[in-house]
Amino acid sequence: MRVQVASHVSDQKLLEKVQQQAFCLTICENDAIDLDSTMALKEDISRAHRLSLAPMLDWTDRDFRYLCRLISRHTLLYTEMVTTGALLHGDASRFLAHDDIEYPLALQLGGSDPAALAKCAILAQQQGYQEINLNVGCPSDRVQNGSFGACLMAEPNLVADCVRAMKDAVSLPVTVKTRLGIDELDSYQFLHEFVSAMVAADCDALILHARKAWLKGLSPKQNRDIPPLDYQRVYQIKQDFPNLHVDINGGVQTLAEALDHLQHVDGAMIGRAIYHRPYLLADADSQIFGDPTPVKTEAEIVEMMLPYIEQRMSQGRPLKSITRHMLGLFQGQAGARRWRRHLSENAHLPGADIQVIRDAMKLLG
Protein backbone atom coordinates (compact mmCIF):
# COMPACT_ATOMS: atom_id res chain seq x y z
CA MET A 1 0.00 0.00 0.00
CA ARG A 2 1.51 3.27 -1.06
CA VAL A 3 1.63 6.38 1.08
CA GLN A 4 0.41 9.53 -0.64
CA VAL A 5 1.38 12.82 0.99
CA ALA A 6 0.69 16.28 -0.38
CA SER A 7 3.68 18.59 -0.62
CA HIS A 8 2.27 20.98 1.96
CA VAL A 9 1.84 18.35 4.67
CA SER A 10 4.01 18.96 7.71
CA ASP A 11 6.62 16.55 8.99
CA GLN A 12 4.35 15.73 11.92
CA LYS A 13 1.47 14.87 9.59
CA LEU A 14 3.84 12.80 7.48
CA LEU A 15 4.85 10.85 10.58
CA GLU A 16 1.22 10.30 11.51
CA LYS A 17 0.49 9.16 7.96
CA VAL A 18 3.29 6.61 8.00
CA GLN A 19 2.20 5.34 11.41
CA GLN A 20 -1.36 4.98 10.15
CA GLN A 21 -0.24 3.00 7.11
CA ALA A 22 1.96 0.82 9.31
CA PHE A 23 -1.07 0.04 11.45
CA CYS A 24 -3.03 -0.88 8.33
CA LEU A 25 -0.28 -3.15 7.05
CA THR A 26 0.04 -4.84 10.43
CA ILE A 27 -3.67 -5.56 10.62
CA CYS A 28 -4.17 -6.41 6.94
CA GLU A 29 -0.85 -7.94 5.95
CA ASN A 30 -2.59 -11.06 4.67
CA ASP A 31 -5.44 -9.19 2.99
CA ALA A 32 -4.75 -8.34 -0.66
CA ILE A 33 -7.09 -5.71 -2.09
CA ASP A 34 -9.04 -7.11 -5.04
CA LEU A 35 -9.80 -4.07 -7.21
CA ASP A 36 -12.53 -5.84 -9.16
CA SER A 37 -14.26 -6.87 -5.93
CA THR A 38 -13.88 -3.34 -4.60
CA MET A 39 -15.55 -1.85 -7.67
CA ALA A 40 -18.36 -4.42 -7.51
CA LEU A 41 -18.92 -3.62 -3.85
CA LYS A 42 -19.14 0.09 -4.59
CA GLU A 43 -21.62 -0.55 -7.40
CA ASP A 44 -23.78 -2.66 -5.07
CA ILE A 45 -23.68 -0.01 -2.35
CA SER A 46 -24.47 2.69 -4.88
CA ARG A 47 -27.61 0.82 -5.87
CA ALA A 48 -28.56 0.26 -2.23
CA HIS A 49 -28.24 4.01 -1.66
CA ARG A 50 -31.44 4.56 -3.64
CA LEU A 51 -33.16 4.10 -0.29
CA SER A 52 -31.52 3.97 3.11
CA LEU A 53 -32.45 3.85 6.78
CA ALA A 54 -30.95 6.80 8.63
CA PRO A 55 -28.54 6.22 11.51
CA MET A 56 -30.44 7.01 14.71
CA LEU A 57 -28.94 6.84 18.18
CA ASP A 58 -30.68 4.31 20.44
CA TRP A 59 -32.91 3.20 17.57
CA THR A 60 -30.95 1.63 14.70
CA ASP A 61 -29.34 -1.08 16.79
CA ARG A 62 -28.88 -4.59 15.43
CA ASP A 63 -32.34 -5.73 16.57
CA PHE A 64 -34.17 -3.01 14.67
CA ARG A 65 -31.95 -3.50 11.64
CA TYR A 66 -32.78 -7.22 11.67
CA LEU A 67 -36.48 -6.37 11.69
CA CYS A 68 -36.04 -3.94 8.80
CA ARG A 69 -34.11 -6.45 6.75
CA LEU A 70 -36.92 -8.98 7.06
CA ILE A 71 -39.22 -6.36 5.52
CA SER A 72 -36.89 -5.03 2.79
CA ARG A 73 -34.10 -7.01 1.17
CA HIS A 74 -32.41 -4.10 -0.56
CA THR A 75 -32.68 -0.97 1.61
CA LEU A 76 -29.28 0.17 2.89
CA LEU A 77 -29.15 0.03 6.69
CA TYR A 78 -27.02 2.27 8.89
CA THR A 79 -25.87 1.60 12.42
CA GLU A 80 -26.18 4.02 15.26
CA MET A 81 -23.22 6.37 15.39
CA VAL A 82 -20.24 4.75 17.10
CA THR A 83 -17.38 6.95 18.28
CA THR A 84 -13.75 6.21 17.57
CA GLY A 85 -13.08 6.22 21.31
CA ALA A 86 -15.69 3.54 21.91
CA LEU A 87 -14.12 1.27 19.29
CA LEU A 88 -10.47 1.83 20.10
CA HIS A 89 -10.76 1.90 23.89
CA GLY A 90 -13.95 -0.04 24.54
CA ASP A 91 -15.51 -3.36 23.57
CA ALA A 92 -15.21 -3.12 19.80
CA SER A 93 -16.70 -6.56 19.22
CA ARG A 94 -19.90 -5.52 21.00
CA PHE A 95 -20.23 -2.24 19.12
CA LEU A 96 -19.58 -3.88 15.75
CA ALA A 97 -21.64 -7.03 16.26
CA HIS A 98 -24.27 -7.69 13.61
CA ASP A 99 -25.91 -10.48 11.62
CA ASP A 100 -25.01 -11.28 8.03
CA ILE A 101 -28.67 -10.94 7.09
CA GLU A 102 -28.35 -7.18 7.69
CA TYR A 103 -26.28 -6.58 4.53
CA PRO A 104 -26.11 -4.15 2.80
CA LEU A 105 -24.91 -2.48 5.99
CA ALA A 106 -22.97 0.70 6.73
CA LEU A 107 -21.20 1.75 9.91
CA GLN A 108 -21.48 5.38 10.96
CA LEU A 109 -18.44 6.71 12.82
CA GLY A 110 -18.13 9.77 15.00
CA GLY A 111 -14.69 11.30 15.31
CA SER A 112 -12.31 13.93 14.01
CA ASP A 113 -8.88 12.35 14.27
CA PRO A 114 -7.87 10.95 10.87
CA ALA A 115 -5.57 8.27 12.28
CA ALA A 116 -8.19 7.04 14.77
CA LEU A 117 -10.87 6.96 12.09
CA ALA A 118 -8.58 4.98 9.81
CA LYS A 119 -8.03 2.38 12.54
CA CYS A 120 -11.77 2.11 13.13
CA ALA A 121 -12.42 1.77 9.41
CA ILE A 122 -10.03 -1.18 9.32
CA LEU A 123 -11.85 -2.83 12.23
CA ALA A 124 -15.16 -2.29 10.46
CA GLN A 125 -13.89 -3.78 7.22
CA GLN A 126 -12.61 -6.82 9.09
CA GLN A 127 -16.06 -7.31 10.61
CA GLY A 128 -17.77 -7.28 7.21
CA TYR A 129 -19.24 -3.79 7.04
CA GLN A 130 -19.71 -2.58 3.48
CA GLU A 131 -19.46 1.18 3.93
CA ILE A 132 -17.99 3.67 6.38
CA ASN A 133 -19.95 6.86 6.98
CA LEU A 134 -18.59 9.89 8.83
CA ASN A 135 -21.03 11.84 10.98
CA VAL A 136 -20.71 15.54 10.17
CA GLY A 137 -24.31 16.38 10.94
CA CYS A 138 -25.18 15.72 14.58
CA PRO A 139 -25.53 19.04 16.45
CA SER A 140 -25.84 17.79 20.05
CA ASP A 141 -23.75 19.41 22.78
CA ARG A 142 -22.27 16.05 23.76
CA VAL A 143 -21.07 15.42 20.22
CA GLN A 144 -19.72 18.96 19.90
CA ASN A 145 -17.77 18.50 23.12
CA GLY A 146 -16.08 15.56 21.42
CA SER A 147 -15.18 17.83 18.49
CA PHE A 148 -17.13 15.90 15.88
CA GLY A 149 -20.55 15.94 14.27
CA ALA A 150 -22.01 19.08 12.69
CA CYS A 151 -19.37 21.39 14.16
CA LEU A 152 -16.86 19.80 11.76
CA MET A 153 -18.54 21.62 8.87
CA ALA A 154 -16.51 24.66 9.95
CA GLU A 155 -13.33 22.66 9.22
CA PRO A 156 -13.74 21.19 5.73
CA ASN A 157 -10.02 20.54 5.35
CA LEU A 158 -10.03 18.41 8.50
CA VAL A 159 -13.07 16.48 7.28
CA ALA A 160 -11.29 15.93 3.97
CA ASP A 161 -8.23 14.62 5.85
CA CYS A 162 -10.50 12.21 7.73
CA VAL A 163 -12.02 10.93 4.50
CA ARG A 164 -8.61 10.50 2.85
CA ALA A 165 -7.25 8.64 5.87
CA MET A 166 -10.10 6.13 5.77
CA LYS A 167 -9.91 5.80 1.99
CA ASP A 168 -6.19 5.02 2.26
CA ALA A 169 -6.80 2.45 5.00
CA VAL A 170 -9.64 0.38 3.54
CA SER A 171 -11.16 -0.66 0.22
CA LEU A 172 -14.70 0.17 1.35
CA PRO A 173 -16.73 3.15 0.15
CA VAL A 174 -16.33 6.11 2.51
CA THR A 175 -19.25 8.54 2.72
CA VAL A 176 -20.15 11.68 4.66
CA LYS A 177 -23.49 12.64 6.20
CA THR A 178 -23.82 16.34 6.85
CA ARG A 179 -26.09 19.41 6.84
CA LEU A 180 -26.56 22.40 4.53
CA GLY A 181 -24.61 24.57 6.94
CA ILE A 182 -24.18 25.58 10.56
CA ASP A 183 -25.03 28.78 12.40
CA GLU A 184 -24.11 31.73 10.18
CA LEU A 185 -22.12 29.50 7.81
CA ASP A 186 -25.19 28.76 5.73
CA SER A 187 -24.64 30.33 2.32
CA TYR A 188 -24.71 28.23 -0.83
CA GLN A 189 -21.11 29.26 -1.48
CA PHE A 190 -20.07 27.79 1.89
CA LEU A 191 -21.86 24.52 1.13
CA HIS A 192 -20.39 24.40 -2.37
CA GLU A 193 -16.87 24.83 -1.01
CA PHE A 194 -17.46 22.15 1.63
CA VAL A 195 -18.69 19.69 -1.01
CA SER A 196 -15.74 20.57 -3.24
CA ALA A 197 -13.40 19.55 -0.42
CA MET A 198 -15.22 16.21 -0.08
CA VAL A 199 -14.95 15.58 -3.81
CA ALA A 200 -11.24 16.38 -3.73
CA ALA A 201 -10.86 13.84 -0.92
CA ASP A 202 -12.52 11.18 -3.12
CA CYS A 203 -15.61 10.86 -0.92
CA ASP A 204 -17.82 8.15 -2.43
CA ALA A 205 -21.17 9.69 -1.51
CA LEU A 206 -22.60 12.67 0.30
CA ILE A 207 -25.79 12.41 2.35
CA LEU A 208 -27.26 15.86 2.83
CA HIS A 209 -29.77 16.56 5.58
CA ALA A 210 -31.67 19.36 3.87
CA ARG A 211 -31.51 21.71 6.86
CA LYS A 212 -28.82 23.80 8.48
CA ALA A 213 -27.99 23.16 12.14
CA TRP A 214 -27.78 25.61 15.01
CA LEU A 215 -24.98 24.54 17.31
CA LYS A 216 -26.28 26.61 20.23
CA GLY A 217 -29.80 27.31 21.39
CA LEU A 218 -31.57 24.33 19.83
CA SER A 219 -31.78 20.74 21.02
CA PRO A 220 -31.11 17.88 18.56
CA LYS A 221 -34.88 17.38 18.30
CA GLN A 222 -35.44 21.07 17.55
CA ASN A 223 -32.66 20.94 14.97
CA ARG A 224 -34.66 18.26 13.17
CA ASP A 225 -37.75 20.46 12.99
CA ILE A 226 -37.10 24.20 13.34
CA PRO A 227 -34.52 24.98 10.62
CA PRO A 228 -36.53 24.98 7.38
CA LEU A 229 -36.05 22.28 4.78
CA ASP A 230 -34.38 23.37 1.54
CA TYR A 231 -34.58 20.48 -0.90
CA GLN A 232 -33.77 22.74 -3.84
CA ARG A 233 -30.33 23.41 -2.42
CA VAL A 234 -29.62 19.68 -2.31
CA TYR A 235 -30.83 19.34 -5.89
CA GLN A 236 -28.51 22.19 -6.89
CA ILE A 237 -25.53 20.43 -5.32
CA LYS A 238 -26.29 17.38 -7.46
CA GLN A 239 -26.46 19.58 -10.56
CA ASP A 240 -23.18 21.28 -9.69
CA PHE A 241 -21.45 17.97 -8.88
CA PRO A 242 -22.99 15.50 -11.36
CA ASN A 243 -20.34 12.83 -10.75
CA LEU A 244 -20.85 12.84 -6.97
CA HIS A 245 -23.40 10.43 -5.53
CA VAL A 246 -25.83 12.62 -3.55
CA ASP A 247 -28.52 11.35 -1.16
CA ILE A 248 -31.20 13.55 0.40
CA ASN A 249 -32.34 13.31 4.02
CA GLY A 250 -34.72 15.24 6.21
CA GLY A 251 -38.51 15.23 6.32
CA VAL A 252 -38.93 12.28 3.95
CA GLN A 253 -42.00 10.42 5.21
CA THR A 254 -43.11 8.03 2.46
CA LEU A 255 -41.82 5.97 -0.44
CA ALA A 256 -43.74 8.24 -2.78
CA GLU A 257 -41.77 11.22 -1.48
CA ALA A 258 -38.55 9.23 -1.85
CA LEU A 259 -39.40 8.49 -5.48
CA ASP A 260 -40.04 12.19 -6.09
CA HIS A 261 -36.60 13.04 -4.73
CA LEU A 262 -35.03 10.36 -6.91
CA GLN A 263 -35.96 12.48 -9.91
CA HIS A 264 -33.31 14.95 -8.73
CA VAL A 265 -30.74 13.06 -6.63
CA ASP A 266 -29.28 9.57 -6.41
CA GLY A 267 -30.80 8.39 -3.15
CA ALA A 268 -33.24 9.15 -0.37
CA MET A 269 -32.77 8.47 3.33
CA ILE A 270 -35.70 7.98 5.73
CA GLY A 271 -35.36 7.89 9.51
CA ARG A 272 -38.10 8.31 12.08
CA ALA A 273 -40.94 7.53 9.69
CA ILE A 274 -39.51 4.02 9.29
CA TYR A 275 -38.85 3.59 12.99
CA HIS A 276 -42.41 4.49 13.96
CA ARG A 277 -43.86 2.42 11.13
CA PRO A 278 -41.35 -0.23 9.99
CA TYR A 279 -43.80 -1.76 7.53
CA LEU A 280 -43.40 1.38 5.44
CA LEU A 281 -40.49 -0.56 3.93
CA ALA A 282 -42.75 -3.36 2.66
CA ASP A 283 -43.03 -1.94 -0.85
CA ALA A 284 -39.49 -0.53 -1.02
CA ASP A 285 -38.03 -3.48 -2.90
CA SER A 286 -40.61 -3.29 -5.67
CA GLN A 287 -41.11 0.49 -5.88
CA ILE A 288 -37.52 1.65 -5.34
CA PHE A 289 -35.40 -1.29 -6.47
CA GLY A 290 -37.62 -3.00 -9.05
CA ASP A 291 -37.63 -6.36 -7.24
CA PRO A 292 -40.99 -8.13 -7.79
CA THR A 293 -40.52 -10.56 -4.87
CA PRO A 294 -43.87 -10.90 -3.04
CA VAL A 295 -44.23 -8.75 0.08
CA LYS A 296 -44.42 -10.52 3.44
CA THR A 297 -47.31 -9.69 5.74
CA GLU A 298 -46.76 -8.14 9.15
CA ALA A 299 -47.74 -11.42 10.77
CA GLU A 300 -45.19 -13.30 8.69
CA ILE A 301 -42.53 -10.81 9.74
CA VAL A 302 -43.36 -11.42 13.40
CA GLU A 303 -43.11 -15.20 12.95
CA MET A 304 -39.71 -14.77 11.30
CA MET A 305 -38.56 -12.61 14.20
CA LEU A 306 -39.36 -15.18 16.87
CA PRO A 307 -36.35 -17.52 16.38
CA TYR A 308 -34.06 -14.49 16.27
CA ILE A 309 -35.59 -13.14 19.49
CA GLU A 310 -35.12 -16.46 21.24
CA GLN A 311 -31.49 -16.56 20.16
CA ARG A 312 -30.86 -12.99 21.34
CA MET A 313 -32.56 -13.68 24.68
CA SER A 314 -30.34 -16.74 25.14
CA GLN A 315 -27.41 -14.32 24.84
CA GLY A 316 -28.81 -12.13 27.61
CA ARG A 317 -30.81 -9.59 25.59
CA PRO A 318 -34.02 -8.59 27.44
CA LEU A 319 -37.25 -9.13 25.51
CA LYS A 320 -38.30 -5.50 26.00
CA SER A 321 -35.13 -4.30 24.26
CA ILE A 322 -36.28 -6.01 21.08
CA THR A 323 -40.06 -5.60 21.22
CA ARG A 324 -39.72 -1.82 21.66
CA HIS A 325 -38.72 -1.75 17.99
CA MET A 326 -41.84 -3.69 16.96
CA LEU A 327 -44.50 -1.47 18.54
CA GLY A 328 -45.37 0.31 15.29
CA LEU A 329 -45.31 -2.75 13.05
CA PHE A 330 -49.11 -2.97 12.77
CA GLN A 331 -49.78 0.78 12.69
CA GLY A 332 -53.03 1.56 10.93
CA GLN A 333 -54.47 -1.91 11.39
CA ALA A 334 -57.31 -3.02 13.63
CA GLY A 335 -55.93 -3.98 17.01
CA ALA A 336 -52.66 -2.08 16.58
CA ARG A 337 -53.22 -0.19 19.83
CA ARG A 338 -53.89 -3.43 21.73
CA TRP A 339 -50.71 -4.89 20.21
CA ARG A 340 -48.63 -1.94 21.39
CA ARG A 341 -50.19 -1.90 24.84
CA HIS A 342 -49.71 -5.61 25.45
CA LEU A 343 -46.06 -5.50 24.48
CA SER A 344 -45.42 -2.33 26.48
CA GLU A 345 -47.08 -3.69 29.60
CA ASN A 346 -45.71 -7.22 29.54
CA ALA A 347 -42.36 -7.44 27.71
CA HIS A 348 -40.49 -5.97 30.69
CA LEU A 349 -41.91 -8.36 33.30
CA PRO A 350 -39.68 -11.02 34.93
CA GLY A 351 -39.71 -14.23 32.92
CA ALA A 352 -41.20 -12.58 29.82
CA ASP A 353 -40.53 -14.60 26.67
CA ILE A 354 -41.86 -14.89 23.12
CA GLN A 355 -45.26 -15.99 24.45
CA VAL A 356 -45.81 -12.30 25.18
CA ILE A 357 -45.57 -11.67 21.46
CA ARG A 358 -47.82 -14.58 20.56
CA ASP A 359 -50.44 -13.30 23.01
CA ALA A 360 -50.18 -9.83 21.51
CA MET A 361 -50.79 -11.30 18.05
CA LYS A 362 -54.12 -12.70 19.24
CA LEU A 363 -55.28 -9.16 20.00
CA LEU A 364 -55.05 -8.06 16.37
CA GLY A 365 -57.97 -7.97 13.99
| Rounded-to-integer distance, Cα 66 and Cα 326, Å | 11
Q: Do residues 76 and 53 lie in contact, with contact meaning Cβ atoms separated by under 8 Å?
A: yes
| Rounded-to-integer distance, Cα 331 and Cα 320, Å | 19
Q: What domain count does the chain have?
A: 2
**Do 325 and 257 belong to one domain?**
no
**Do 121 and 251 belong to one domain?**
yes
Residue 2 in any domain: the answer is: no
**Do 38 and 113 belong to one domain?**
yes
Residue 128 in any domain: the answer is: yes
pLDDT at residue 42, as a whole number: 58
Residue 63: phi and psi, rounded to 5, are -70, -45
Q: Does residue 29 surpass a pLDDT of 70?
A: no
Residue 6 in any domain: the answer is: no
Residue 85 in any domain: the answer is: yes
**Do 283 and 311 belong to one domain?**
no
Strands (E), the chain: 51-53, 76-83, 105-110, 131-136, 174-178, 205-209, 245-249, 267-270
Residue 1 in any domain: the answer is: no
53 lies in which domain range? 11-287
Binding positions: 55-57, 108, 177, 209, 249-251, 271-272
- Concerning whether 162 is annotated as a catalytic residue, the answer is no
**Do 279 and 314 belong to one domain?**
no
Residue 16 in any domain: the answer is: yes
Q: Do residues 276 and 297 lie in contact, with contact meaning Cβ atoms separated by under 8 Å?
A: no
pLDDT at residue 19, as a whole number: 41
pLDDT digits (tens, 9 = 90+) for 60-113: 999 999 999 999 999 999 999 999 999 999 999 999 999 999 999 999 999 999
How many CA atoms, within 13 angstroms, populate the side-chain half-sphere of residue 135?
A: 26
Burial 30-46 (b: 16+ CB within 10 A, else e): eeeeeeeeeeebbebbb
pLDDT digits (tens, 9 = 90+) for 197-237: 999 999 999 999 999 998 887 887 887 878 999 999 999 99
**Do 15 and 139 belong to one domain?**
yes
Weakest mean pLDDT among 40-44, 51-55, 231-235, 331-335: 40-44
- Given pLDDT bands bounded at 50, 70 and 90, which one contains residue 14? very low
pLDDT at residue 17, as a whole number: 41
Of 241, 259, 287, which residue constitutes the final position of a domain?
A: 287
**Do 126 and 214 belong to one domain?**
yes
| Rounded-to-integer distance, Cα 48 and Cα 91, Å | 29
pLDDT digits (tens, 9 = 90+) for 120-177: 999 999 999 999 999 999 988 777 776 789 999 999 999 999 999 999 999 999 999 9
Q: Comparing C-alpha atoms, which of 270, 293, 253, 275 is closest to residue 329?
A: 275
> Which listed residue (138, 151, 162, 203) is catalytic?
138
pLDDT at residue 109, as a whole number: 98
Q: Do residues 318 and 348 lie in contact, with contact meaning Cβ atoms separated by under 8 Å?
A: yes
pLDDT at residue 139, as a whole number: 87
Residue 293 in any domain: the answer is: no
| Percentage of the chain modeled with pLDDT above 90 | 80
Binding positions for FMN: 55-57, 108, 177, 209, 249-251, 271-272
Q: What is the CATH number of the domain that holds 318?
A: 1.20.120.1460
| Rounded-to-integer distance, Cα 285 and Cα 69, Å | 11
Q: Do residues 249 and 177 lie in contact, with contact meaning Cβ atoms separated by under 8 Å?
A: yes
| Rounded-to-integer distance, Cα 290 and Cα 299, Å | 24
pLDDT digits (tens, 9 = 90+) for 277-308: 999 999 999 999 999 999 999 999 999 999 99
Q: What is the mean pLDDT of residues 268-274?
A: 98
